[in-house]
Amino acid sequence: MNNYEVFNCDVLVIGAGGAGLRACIGAMEKGAKVGLVTKSLLGKAHTVMAEGGAAAALGNLDTEDNWEVHFRDTIRGGKFLANWRTVEIFAREAPERILELERYGAVFDRTGKGLISQRAFGGHKYRRLAHVGDRTGLEIIRTLQDKAVSMGIFDYPELTIIRLLKDGDRISGAVGYRRMDGGIVVFKAKAVVLATGGWGRMYRFTSNSWESTGDGVVLALRAGAELKDMEMVQFHPTGMIWPPSMRGILVTEGVRGDGGILLNSKGERFMFNYVPEFYRKETAETLEEALKWVHDKKNYRRPPELLPRDVVARAIYKEVQAGRGSEHGGVYLQISHMGADYIRKRLPSMVDQFLHLGNVDITKEPMEVYPTIHYTMGGVTSDPETCATNVPGLYACGEVATGLHGANRLGGNSLSDLLVFGRRAGEAAGEYAMQNESGEISESEISEEVNLLMEPLRRESGENPYQLHTELQDTMQEHAMIARTEEGLKRALEKIHELKERAKKIAVKGDTCFNPGWHQARDIQVMLTVSEVIVRSALERKESRGGHWRLDYDLEDPYWAQHNIIARLENGEIKLSHRKVPEMPEHLKKIIEG
Amino acid sequence: MATVTLNIFRGNQEKGYFQSYTVETFEGMVVLDAIHKIQREQDASLACRWNCKAAKCGSCSAEINGKPRLMCKTRIDSLPIEEPIIVTPLKTFPVIKDLVCDVSWNYEIARKIPPLKLADEGSKEPLRMMQEDVERVQEFRKCIECFLCQNVCHILRDHQRKDIFFGPRFMIKLAALEMHPLDVEDRSEFLKEVAGVGVCNITKCCTEVCPEEIHITDNGIIPLKERVADVYFDPIRGLLRWLKTP
């Protein structure tokens, strides 16, 4: 097939959130010609939704903070499943990346001394999150977007990549379609950086946009790359639950970081009943101490509302199960006691979101919240130093990659993840591209994939892609959400197999000009594959750890504490294996124990 | 079961028509929910842009009963529903399909803007800026690029003079750079000659539609106009400039 447009570049970056944009900058700094592909318009990627802040041990407010404490918090928060080297690089480099961002033009909130202000957040020992009110993600994406644009990026907005192209073992480019008109574009590239973000659209109640289908993991899987710990999905403790229209939309952890408390229907501050032994030493024991912490963070321990997300999400689930839930089946999150002026200053977009969309004035009334799908810790396996995958020429960074967050991500670690590993991936891909010649692209791979893409438009009648999506969301919500069992997961797997068969017979009306039904027909295929890997990995991990909670294996297991689950595609089948978590060197172990 | 009827523009820049859809309502429903319901249940080919559904990304801009708004932030129960709700694409930009416009002009303009320039370029030292000095800049940086302000600007909408004026969105982008406490770039000539700040006649329509409630005109455009006036129309400065010219 010859009917396509060709774009030649050194490095192709797929995804234009924080990681993708930072990768572009890194690759351009190495002299590479960079193409950037995004499914939305530039600046609309999921990074824009991040509210609380970017974690970096700058020590601007709590001078005791340093990279070692950040390292310790992240490893512990991730329940020891993270790659120690990834975390070490991250904790060491995050401050530098934040300061660099400021020099690109980001304007963070300031301390009294004129430095970047830092906010308290779940699982972080000290005030660590650089922030701009509660719209930090917007600040970061716009800053990176402006920087990349000023450096001369070649961007392809509203384009979906459907397959990575290979020359033998190595990457040679990618093929995709323009959402606007269905035009096929072939990218010839020496290196490809995957920065496609996470996947939450296969769940019914999610804080994720339509984009979060998991394209990156499926592209990687099909190109021969390894996935790791795909069962690790993060349920953010506080999503909106009412009105139904807003169900799943995020309520930032900043609410709790700034003094917000969780209450059940009896008015009890129930988090005091859910403090794990592991965190007891550093958590407030009494209501009084927790109240004092709000105004004096140096002399009092943090309230239990700021335990890591997995702990808080499970506690909310248990309260509701025990019949102590709120009117609409969640719990109450209250910040009104902090005073209207303070709330408006610290959390302006939360005030706005609840007032306009939920008819709730959070300066006066409590919010109703329940866990929502938020983030994916698992993903494409990549090297800590370079973000290289096991496929030559293919790199992965940001949420699509894995290794940093282990079994549970700490709030605020995602934005700095994008910066640290976006840069590393971009620079490594840029260097690789400058040292290697272009590979060949395969016409047969392109025509095979484009054929599959067009099929639903050729069928007169068949399955409705929206119907399949609804059924998948119901299944994942019921069986693969916060509390999992073998029986439920097996049922989910059966349903996924059924949906996969039906997905072969999808028919959509209309043409290739901005046709959401046709887009959905493609996206559902991707989501089904991702769902299958999540469910199969969740069946495999017979323990509870972080985001993965098995009601039938309620405890942590020493074997699984040391093993990641690897997923690969072999002859079209997903194969799982166990791999030992890399052993941490002694000097780092001391930091953890200290 | 309560229902609502929406008359939605279907078509493109050349030709189009209104299609009527009736959907069941639910508590808290916003216009974007109705569009999604139509896509799921009635017509999967109806095109619109959206992302966050929480008024943070600025993707789902449209005109609802003639008013430019974010569809995700417009509750159905805030509209009179005895009559059908009329949903049309932004008028200022060419329609690609249904509610989706070609807004690429805005991205071309963004490329032209001289970026932040610091005096100590290359240094890695933390910047020192006080909160009170960055507050105004932070107000402008709240912009989510929904382009509703571009859509209602008379110069762009009624006169289609995209050749002489960058529009309110880029006025506040320029204002954010100009008012950055540590920026040393001089954009006054650029503002006057390229961005066309003088063209704005301060009707404040842009400010009225801004979902982020940025005071585009009062805090952004007027100070920029004053800045340009100071440089170009102050007689003493004019004389100094004349004397300096070799």
What is the rounded average pLDDT of the residues A280-290? 92
In chain B, what residues touch A138 (CB-CB under 8 Å)? 56, 141-142, 144
A66-75, A247-256, B27-36, B109-118, range with the lowest pLDDT: A247-256
pLDDT of residue A28: 98
pLDDT for the residue A167: 97
Average pLDDT over residues A447-476: 97
pLDDT digits (tens, 9 = 90+) for A26-45: 999 999 999 999 999 999 99
Interchain CB contact of B190 with A (< 8 Å): no
Q: Which residues of A touch B131 (CB under 8 A)?
A: 109-110, 114, 117
Counted across chains A and B, CB pairs separated by less than 8 A come out at: 167
Residue closest to A528 by CA, chosen among A205, A209, A213: A213
- Total Cβ atoms within 10 A of residue A6: 11
The Cα–Cα gap between A151 and B104 comes to 18
| DSSP 8-class letter at A481 | S
- The overall average pLDDT reported for chain B is 95
User: Is pLDDT at A1 greater than 60 in this prediction?
Assistant: no
Look up residue B50 and give its amino acid: W
Report which secondary-structure segment, H or E, holds A101.
helix A84-104
Residue B243 has a pLDDT of: 73
| A68-88 average pLDDT score | 97
The whole-model pTM stands at 0.96
The angle, 0 to 180 degrees and rounded to 10, between the axes of the packed helices B222-233 and B235-244 is 50
Question: Residue B238: is its pLDDT beyond 90?
Answer: no
Q: Percent of chain A at pLDDT above 90?
A: 93
Q: Is the pLDDT confidence value at A594 over 80?
A: no
- pLDDT tens digit sequence for B50-59: 999 989 999 9
Nearest CB to A138 within list B56, B110, B118: B56
Residues of chain B contacting A104 with CB distance shorter than 8 Å: 116
Question: If you average pLDDT over residues A223-239, what whole number do you get?
Answer: 97
Please tell me the predicted confidence (pLDDT) of residue A134. 87
From the list A141, A108, A105, the residue with the least C-alpha distance to A19 is: A141
Task: Work out the percent of chain A whose per-residue pLDDT is above 70.
Answer: 100
The single-letter DSSP state of residue A261 is E
ipTM score of complex: 0.95
Handedness of CA B188, B191, B193, B198 (dihedral sign): negative
b or e along A11-28 (b: 16 or more beta carbons within 10 Å of the residue's beta carbon)? bbbbbbbbbbbbbbbbbb
Q: Mean pLDDT over residues A158-168, rounded?
A: 98
pLDDT band at A97 (very low <50, low <70, confident <90, very high): very high
Give yes or no for residue A2 having a pLDDT over 70.
Answer: no
- Region A540-557: mean pLDDT is 96
* pLDDT at position B246: 60
Predicted local confidence at residue B6, as pLDDT:
98
The beta strands (E) that lie in A215-347 are given as 227-228, 233-240, 261-263, 331-334
Q: Is the pLDDT of residue A344 over 90?
A: yes
On the CB side of A314, CA atoms within 13 Å amount to 21
Q: Provide the strand spans (E) within A473-581.
A: 563-570, 573-580
Tokens of B198: 């003088």
Contact B52 A209 (CB under 8 A): yes
| Predicted confidence (pLDDT) at residue A304 exceeds the cutoff of 90 | yes
Provide mean pLDDT across the span A368-392: 97
Q: Which of the 8 DSSP states describes residue A391?
A: S
| pLDDT confidence of residue B245 | 65
At which residue do the structure tokens 């052993």 appear?
A: A583
Question: How many Å apart are CA A269 and CA A286, to the nearest integer?
Answer: 10
Does the active-site annotation cover A236?
A: yes
* A209 neighbors B51 (Cβ within 8 angstroms): yes
What's the mean pLDDT when you consider all of chain A?
Answer: 96
pLDDT band at A358, cuts 50/70/90? Answer: confident
